[in-house]
């Protein structure tokens, strides 16, 4: 029998939490299941695939099913944070495995890779984010994992996922793409050949800055994937019920939020592109961005709400711009309904390779005129 709901668009399915409807009560909101353990049936059989909270529960599984629908994935696993999802992958690699990663990427994951290298648990080769030619030069025949973050944080360099996948697979390696800045309503990395798609679900997927979560999705459930799932179970890093409930709630407006953020970001990027107090605007939606064409193809021209600006003046000038904003929050994160600004070098640390005058902006859904006016007054004040 054909499932009539399979003909619904993905936008409709996500807005209705996969057309959730409780058959007993008529509730249209998935419930929060809080139990830590599950009783077996009369034959002492497990009633569901999970029998203890570390395996998951119906609330978390429902959130995972929504992301699998978005990604067109075979399976998704949710973790208690983006870092715990990344660490589960890193920890599953073989001892002394060789990995290839960008020189600049989300600093938490970069630090984790380097911490494992210092303990002689893996070997790292680096490539410039977006440079697949350099990626091809540094990959080895024994490389186990290629990590691509696209768009790359915080300069928003774009990696051609299909090319990176071809390079990785030619050497027997897996490709993981962190597409946190372009969620699966824009980029379905698995469609372009990635083996694992990762998102910090804290960001656009949730969209309300009240959950930390990480998501991994795959098309093929191989031994490596099963080992990641076991790692999550043993470490106890499965996403908890209430956070899963909030994530479900947030994802129901994902398409609307992401579209509005993209519209606002485009307006802001073009407004400040030739601004006398801004040296450069880094935004893939601008035609002069080196990765513009690739990102247009990988997102259907939905470039998202993340950008960076490099200010004139000194490092303190840039810090003061963040300090003087009244609408932008001076906070770390991205993808929420509210707009954020941060001085990236301060947040990432002095050893992170980033321009000292770079300000990272996460554009929310507020009135775009208010956001432009706020940046204008902050830039003027910081340069007075």
Percent of the chain with pLDDT over 70: 98
CATH 3.40.190.10 given to domain 254-382? no
Whether 258 has a pLDDT exceeding 80, the answer reads yes
Tell me: the pLDDT tens digits for 63-86? 999 999 999 999 999 999 999 999
Beta strands in 223-269, from DSSP E residues, in sequence order: none
CATH 3.90.1150.10 residue spans of the chain:
254-382
Per DSSP, helices labelled H in 46-100 are 58-71, 82-92
What is the pLDDT, as a whole number, of residue 351? 80
What is the pLDDT, as a whole number, of residue 353? 86
Tell me: the pLDDT tens digits for 360-383? 999 999 999 999 999 999 999 999
Tell me: the pLDDT tens digits for 11-65? 999 999 999 999 999 999 999 999 999 999 999 998 888 888 898 899 999 999 9
CA dist 218 and 189 (Å) reads: 10
Sheet holding 340-343, edge to edge: 278-282, 306-311, 358-362, 340-343
CATH (residue range 4-251): 3.40.640.10
CATH 3.40.640.10 residue spans of the chain:
4-251
Q: CA 293 from chain center: how many Å?
A: 21
Q: Evaluate if pTM is beyond 0.75.
A: yes
């Amino acid at each position: 029998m054909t499932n009539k709901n399979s003909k619904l668009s993905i936008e409709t399915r996500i807005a209705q939490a996969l057309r959730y409807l409780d058959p007993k009560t008529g509730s249209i909101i998935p419930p929060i299941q809080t139990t830590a353990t599950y009783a077996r049936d009369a034959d002492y059989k497990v009633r569901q695939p999970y029998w203890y909270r570390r395996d998951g529960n119906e609330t978390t599984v429902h959130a995972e099913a929504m992301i699998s629908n978005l990604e067109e994935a075979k399976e998704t696993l949710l973790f208690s944070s983006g870092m715990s999802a990344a660490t589960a992958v890193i920890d599953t690699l073989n001892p002394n495995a060789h990995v290839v990663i960008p020189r600049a990427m989300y600093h938490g994951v970069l630090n984790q890779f380097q911490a494992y290298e210092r303990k002689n648990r893996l070997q790292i080769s680096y490539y410039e984010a977006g440079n697949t030619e350099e990626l091809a030069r540094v990959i080895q025949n024994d490389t186990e994992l290629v990590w691509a973050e696209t768009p790359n944080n915080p300069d928003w360099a774009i990696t051609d996922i299909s090319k990176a996948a071809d390079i990785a697979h030619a050497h027997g390696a897996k490709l993981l793409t962190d597409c946190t800045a372009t969620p699966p309503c824009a980029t379905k990395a698995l469609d372009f050949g990635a083996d694992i798609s990762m998102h910090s679900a804290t960001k656009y997927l949730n969209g309300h800055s009240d959950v930390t979560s990480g998501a991994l999705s795959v098309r093929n459930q191989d031994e490596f994937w099963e080992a990641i799932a076991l790692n999550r179970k043993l470490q106890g890093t499965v996403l908890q019920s209430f956070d899963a409930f909030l994530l479900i709630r947030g994802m129901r407006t994902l398409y609307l939020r992401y579209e509005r953020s993209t519209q606002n970001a485009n307006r802001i990027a073009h407004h400040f592109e030739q601004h006398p107090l801004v040296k450069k605007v880094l935004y893939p939606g601008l035609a002069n961005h080196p990765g513009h064409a690739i990102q247009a193809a990988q997102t259907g021209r939905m470039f998202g709400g993340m950008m960076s600006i490099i200010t004139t003046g000194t490092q303190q000038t840039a810090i003061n711009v963040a300090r003087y904003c009244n609408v932008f929050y001076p906070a770390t994160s991205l993808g929420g309904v509210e707009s954020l600004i941060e001085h990236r070098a301060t947040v990432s640390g002095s050893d992170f390779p980033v321009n000292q005058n770079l300000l990272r902006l996460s554009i929310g859904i507020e009135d775009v005129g208010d956001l432009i006016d706020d940046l204008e007054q902050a830039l003027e004040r910081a340069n007075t």
